[in-house]
Structure 1
């Protein structure tokens, strides 16, 4: 970013086990050249290719991957599903190839579309949240506000 005080730096893309917190794989990004090393998978784009590279050793083994909206896409979810890997995460509603969920929702309401193994779900909290998953079914469970889950 040109306006950022420290425009140059190092980015780390990390895959870790969420139960143990152990880092499994990481990619160090320092320049465009290192970024192209991760772009082996055709059609996934730059963020999807990074995920594919990180998950390379863990595909076809029935693992589950959770991502944020920077990585989430229907193309990546389809790719992971074909590689016998579950995926779940938030996704930007305006991502390419995403179904349009135009309904105006009130707080607590949901809207969803599915296609075989994939579900795109939108719900209203303080703002609209869109999620894509290949491992869940469309079911919303309301919890009490002060409920503690162990």
Structure 2
């Protein structure tokens, strides 16, 4: 096993499979407001109360209603299925006003969308490049099995070889 930071240019010793889904949860693809698509009945514009805020790295434990301010990479709260870009909303006190009905699932990165748990990430025999190391780090790996570096020894005896006539 070799530390990832030292593994660039080295060759993988075995196949590497994903140990987790990426993203590991439904995540916001941009800054905006998480909403429930069933909130958009009838004709717009629609006014939805903002009931909380979630940033990347937060682990919301409470339940939310109506809409939630959400930042890029943040987990989409349970029951919400769409993120409306902040540029597509108008603030009105403690609420947002949305003129155009969003598409269900819009701006949401679904669990495992990039990588599924168990998926083959790298074959054995791959020379590791920076993008490979980033992929492995995203899986929480700190080290990887690599093949030994090839060692070559050269011995000079000083003897001359005779040439045939």
TM > 0.5 between the two?
A: no
Larger radius of gyration: 2
TM-score, with structure 1 as normaliser: 0.21
Instruction: Give the helix-richer structure, 1 or 2.
Output: 1
Higher relative contact order (Cα pairs below 8 Å, separated by 6+ residues) = 2
